[in-house]
Structure 1
Amino acid sequence: MTSGDEAVRAAAQRAEVTGTRNIPQLDDLPIPGDTANLRQGENLNDACLALLPLVGVWRGEGEVSYPTMERSYRFAQQLTIAHDGRPFLYHEARAWLLDDEGEVLRPAARETGFWRPQPDDTIELLLTHSTGFVELYYGKPKSQSAWELGTDAVVRSASAKEVTAAKRLYGIVNNGDLGWVEERAMMGHEMTPHCSALLHRIVG
């Protein structure tokens, strides 16, 4: 297990590369732009302090599987969690499937949304998926570096596959990486492990 001093040293080493980077944006916006770097841009709203470790741009790999899939797949993902000084965080995730050699097969899941912390420590997470469904998650921090959420509502378009519920757990692991796991109920199956990933900070 990593000690507190080791974690601080590792964060300082990462910041030598990631601390000067931010998400690209046009410089003529008449309102505050998004920032995924707590050293730049607007100050993080006090309401979001419980989510502070999530702010950044993260990249890494994971695995996706489900009983309806013929086999499991490796995937890569970029997750951006940013803010503009108001009491919510912006969320954007893009994934792409990989073959056994790590080469890109094709673009995969894509989602956008908002983390909305509430005064009672409840977290609302609204996610819209490119495959035609919208999810409203509720949850609370499990600790200062882990957050567990489950869906309260799922709305599907007429062309979307049948998705009825999901659970997610996000957590900062000892070396400062971001790990997440998801269970999902869909296509007639009960809640079943679906995907997981380990992401490394590249901005912030």
Structure 2
Amino acid sequence: MFDPVQDNPYPDTHVLGEGPEPHPQLAPVLGLIGRWHGRGRGEYPTLEQDFRYEQEVTFSHDGRPFLRYEARAWLIDGSGAPVRPAGREAGWWRVAPDASLEVVLAHPTGIVETYTGRASGAEIEIGTEQVALTPKAKEVTGTRRHYALDGDRLTVVHDMAAVGQPLQHHLTAHLVRRPA
């Protein structure tokens, strides 16, 4: 008997060489596929102080021309001990034949962002086209993200325009690919 949990005929994979073959259109972003982990620092003018965080990011695929994306972070203290959960987001990265990107990200805080951008070698740049907010969500009017791949290292820089502030630096994380 078919068990949809155990016998998924179309599983996602975050490991190249396992599961379905990546779609050829994913070539510009193949380096992202995997599980990433590392630490970062954040700041914003409306916060009383800068903060440190730890983050896990997963990029996976099911053989079609898009990536599934999931990220979660938690604040850490000066010794690196976890303090509390922080940001979380999930979404999809669609890759066009010309290496342009369309990205949709949703946050549990009531924010949904649509991005466009481009993958160019080891650099990926995306910026918001639209930001949708639920009635009680924090005001975010725009964001920009830069991803830089260097082998099994990924640096993510996140700029944000929110709560009356112009677009400016918010987060920088340095992540390392986790072994399969």
TM-score in terms of structure 2 length: 0.95
Contact 2:22 2:61 in 1 (8 A): yes
Q: Is the partner of 1:85 in helix, strand or coil?
A: coil
- Please tell me the root mean square deviation across aligned C-alpha atoms, in Å: 1.1
Please tell me whether residue 81 in structure 1 is matched to residue 90 in structure 2. Answer: no
Within 5 Å, which residues of 2 pair with 1:1-204?
A: 26-29=5-8, 31-141=9-119, 143-173=120-150, 176-204=152-180
Q: Is the partner of 1:47 in helix, strand or coil?
A: helix
Following TM superposition, by how much is the alpha carbon of 1:108 offset from its aligned partner in structure 2, in angstroms?
A: 0.5
Contact 2:56 2:71 in 1 (8 A): yes
Measured in 1, the distance between the counterparts of 2:127 and 2:157 equals 12
CA offsets, 1:89-129, max 9 Å, x none? 00000000001111100000000000101123210111001
Measured in 2, the distance between the counterparts of 1:124 and 1:66 equals 26
Following TM superposition, by how much is the alpha carbon of 1:144 offset from its aligned partner in structure 2, in angstroms?
A: 1.4
Measured in 2, the distance between the counterparts of 1:162 and 1:203 equals 38
Listed as ranges, the gaps of 5+ residues in structure 2 are none
Measured in 2, the distance between the counterparts of 1:129 and 1:172 equals 24
Q: Is the partner of 1:37 in helix, strand or coil?
A: coil
**Number of matched pairs:** 176
- Which structure has greater helix proportion? 1
Partner residue, 1:23: none
Following TM superposition, by how much is the alpha carbon of 1:203 offset from its aligned partner in structure 2, in angstroms?
A: 3.8
Measured in 2, the distance between the counterparts of 1:27 and 1:171 equals 36
- Which structure has greater strand proportion? 2
CA offsets, 1:148-194, max 9 Å, x none? 01000000000100000000000112x53011101100000000100
Letter in 2 for 1:105: V
Identity of aligned residues (%): 41
Measured in 2, the distance between the counterparts of 1:121 and 1:83 equals 16
Segments of 4+ moved more than 4 angstroms: none
CA offsets, 1:46-86, max 9 Å, x none? 11111100000000000111011100110000000000111
Following TM superposition, by how much is the alpha carbon of 1:28 offset from its aligned partner in structure 2, in angstroms?
A: 1.9
Listed as ranges, the gaps of 5+ residues in structure 1 are 1-25
Contact 1:165 1:186 in 2 (8 A): yes
TM-score in terms of structure 1 length: 0.84
Measured in 1, the distance between the counterparts of 2:65 and 2:175 equals 25
Letter in 2 for 1:189: Q
